[in-house]
Amino acid sequence: MVMIGALSKDGDSRKISQKIEKQIEAQQKKNSKTYKILLLGASDSGKSTISKQIKILNTNGFSQEEIMSFIPVIRRNLLDSAKMLIKFVGNEDVPLDPLNIHNCEIIERFIPNPGELVSTMFGKAIFDLWTVSNIRRCMYRNDSLLIDSAPYFFQRATAICSPDYVPSIDDILHSRNSTMGISEISFSLDHLQIRMFDVGGQRTERRKWIYCFENVNSIIFCVSLNDFDKKLFERNVANRNRLLESVALFDSIINSQWFVESSIILFLNKFDLFRKKLEHVPFTDHFPQFSGKNNVKNITKFILWMFVNPSVNRQRHNIYPHITTAVDTSNIKVVFAAVKETILQHSLKEVGMF
């Protein structure tokens, strides 16, 4: 026999259970907070490479369509770098044998029409030229005028110029394309919904930052350590030291009224290139005020102090520095694990739980 009262009680229980589940779901949605991060830094600081790494580590990475969209960017990077290399060789009258004179002619023939960059002969000409020690030395004497990834692309020239070329993840990470405007990556981090904005680093783009300033929880600021000997080429500020430009920009950001409550994460980036450069470029030639021992550790500490000293950090922020090599996924994976803890602690602090 079926008891009507029991059925009624079972129905009521189900309704109560469903109501509780809806309340729990609503509370979870309420607790799932949107956390806003700005990825900032001067031009060529490696911001966009960091952004690519975060996309790889926290989302599904790049689709096949996105991967193929990097082909013209990478070939343009290679073409422009080869063009500059030939210019350096000509300016310095670097002696060339007949084979490499011919290689220069091949490159010059292709320069007016990058759409033809599918010739293995063109790629081989670049690669062969790059293997000549005198030409390499010439490039290193002029490397401040080249993109940092030029040697990488010269080494990969034959593959990049092949008709069936498909970019590798390393190719994509090394590619350089100026960030114009603002791009966004969204992903989840425990209970947080992260919205990270990569903002153009060129001076002409900085006026757009104002639109991102409301309710920013964290700033990731990227600095290129490799820029200590480089000059700006942007209009009205030509010949200003790039590292000093980054310090001035960092100063203006962390002391802004917009970021009083924001956590500040500082990436001292391009450490791999910086360490190599110090082997042949004296740091004191560009920063004579440095009086410590001339080694990577002490110079890195000096540069860090340029950013965190009280005359710059007037708001007395807790600044969380990390030494990074943006093209190294294993390095960024470790660094971002630490950044994750900073973000989670800051989010708890904001609601009075830390």
Give the residue numbers of the binding site: 48, 148-149, 173-179, 198-202, 269-272, 326
| Structural contact between residues 61 and 339, judged by C-beta atoms closer than 8 angstroms | no
Which amino acid belongs to residue 284? Answer: T
Closest C-alpha to 174, from 309, 329, 350, 42: 329
Q: Within 10 Å of residue 2's Cβ, how many Cβ atoms?
A: 5
CB-CB contact of 175 with 73 (8 Å):
yes
| Residue 60 structure tokens | 């599904």
* Known binding residues for Mg(2+): 48, 179
Q: How far apart are CA 187 and CA 321, in angstroms?
A: 23
Q: Under 8 Å CB-to-CB from 87, ≥6 apart: which residues?
A: none
Which residues are known binding-site members for GTP?
148-149, 173-179, 198-202, 269-272, 326
CA distance 35 to 344: 10
